[in-house]
Copies of this chain bind each other. A is one copy, B any other.
């Protein structure tokens, strides 16, 4: 039975959590997807990040990053700055609006993260992380 496969349960957990956050985003009218939030957050945490680096950090395809950044640019949440040292790449950063957006909604996202691990001790969390890392290693 497929429900007994650990990879299936990992995927299920990921889906359930994303759906939970997306529903909350929608309910509060954030007009953003979870994937878009993750990109914004990485940009917020980084200095002068390129699209290639964004793809690596977010574990997504460069082609997909291009398209999502187009949307975020349309929403005026990010800027693509040409950099003189290398005219092949852009430096991505948050617009003022983007910074405000992150600061305003970070508490909500933090609440989701806390809720996801409710009832798990520190030790259980570390343990889970470690087991996940080992599976990642096995599959790479």
Contacts and interface: CB of A to CB of B under 8 A. Distances in A.
Contacts of A41: 2
A17 B8 CA distance: 10
A7 B116 CA distance: 8
Interface residues of A, number: 45
Q: Give the secondary structure class of A's interface.
A: helix
26 contacts: A1-B45, A2-B42, A2-B57, A6-B113, A6-B117, A7-B17, A10-B10, A11-B17, A12-B136, A13-B132, A13-B135, A13-B139, A16-B135, A19-B139, A20-B139, A115-B138, A115-B139, A116-B135, A116-B138, A116-B139, A117-B135, A118-B138, A120-B131, A120-B134, A127-B127, A128-B131
A44 to B, nearest CB: 10
B113 A7 contact: yes
A132 to B, nearest CB: 5
A140 interface: yes
Contact of A38 (B2, B128, B131): B2
A17 B133 CA distance: 12
Contacts of A16: 59, 135-136, 139-140
